[in-house]
Amino acid sequence: MTALWAILLRDMRIAVRIGGGALMGVLFFLAVVTLIPFAIGPDQALLRKIGPAILWLGALLASLLGLDRLFAADHEDGSLDLILMGAASLELTVAAKGLAHWITTGLPLVLAVPVLGLLLDLDPLAIGAVALTLLAGTPALTFIGMIGAALAVALRRGGLLLPVLVLPLTVPVLIFGVSAAETAVIGPLMFGTPFLILCALTLMSLVIGPFAAAATLRQGLD
């Protein structure tokens, strides 16, 4: 257990230190939420209507952006090889890294929602709904994304390959996340269904992500 705890703390410390990877995600989130009204127009009513969708899209893209941080830095300085050779289970280690990544990248996005929601003139109920669904959904984005991050880790010219691989897999999370956020506003009675499915997707990703990522890392770095 101490090994996993050590990895968790180490990754969190690095994320906060180098390049402020944690805050970069929030800044990108802000940038996207600011850009969209430029494209759509300042129509308050329209922005309020699609506000939950804008917030979810921004959070999705911001999550995606931070994913290559998951394995790339470790791969470059060789610590990934050490991790692979280590005694701790690779799946659990990768899960610990994913948890650290979510705490430093995903969670700040959730905390930024109240502020950004004000930019889109959302009422407190809508803001709360978006924040809750993002809280439930951003772990899924991180853990699904880690599969793409593992696949792309050895590719120097990875570029946009990682997002292209990950985005189709995140479609269900996006659909149910936005749907849950919207039905919370329209009618709380329907909120349960999409929200529970969202939670189910997250739970599944917590299992599938580490297994797939670990398998990839093992195969790819032989």
Partner 1 sequence: MALIDLANPTRFLNFAERVLPWLVAATLFAFAIGLEQALFVAPDDYQQGATVKIMFLHVPCAWLGMFCWGLMTVAALGTLVWRHPLADVAAKAAAPIGAAFTFLCLFTGSMWGRPMWGTYWQWDARLTSVLVLFIMYLGLIALWRSVEDPGRAGRAAAVLTLVGAVNLPIIKFSVDWWNTLHQPASVFRIGGPTIDKSILVPLFAMAIAFTLLFLTLHLAAMRNEILRRRVRSMQMLRVFADEDMRQIESRA
Give residues in contact with partner 1 (CB under 8 A).
147, 151, 154-155, 157-158, 161, 164-165, 167-169, 171-172, 175-176, 179, 201, 208, 212, 215-216, 219-220, 222
Could you tell me if 134 and 108 are in contact, meaning their C-beta atoms sit under 8 angstroms apart?
Answer: no
Shortest distance, position 170 Cβ to partner 1, whole Å = 9
Nearest CB to partner 1, comparing residues 22 and 201? 201
Q: Which amino acid is at 36?
A: I
Shortest distance, position 93 Cβ to partner 1, whole Å = 17
Nearest CB to partner 1, comparing residues 114 and 158? 158
Burial (CB < 10 A; 0-12, 13-18, 19+), residue 160, is exposed
Nearest CB to partner 1, comparing residues 87 and 160? 160
Nearest CB to partner 1, comparing residues 39 and 160? 160
Shortest distance, position 44 Cβ to partner 1, whole Å = 22
Shortest distance, position 127 Cβ to partner 1, whole Å = 22
Nearest CB to partner 1, comparing residues 15 and 198? 198
Dist CA 47 CA 94 (whole Å): 39
Shortest distance, position 60 Cβ to partner 1, whole Å = 14
Shortest distance, position 23 Cβ to partner 1, whole Å = 29
Which residue is it, tokens 């929200």? 195
- Establish how many alpha carbons lie within 13 A of residue 21's alpha carbon, considering only the half-sphere containing its beta carbon: 25
Nearest CB to partner 1, comparing residues 118 and 196? 196
Q: How many CB atoms lie within 10 A of CB 6?
A: 12
Name which of 29, 147, 39 is nearest 97 in CA terms. 147
Give the CA distances from residue 166 to residues 10, 155, 193, 196, 197, in Å, rounded to whole numbers and listed in that order: 26, 15, 25, 22, 20
Length of the chain: 222
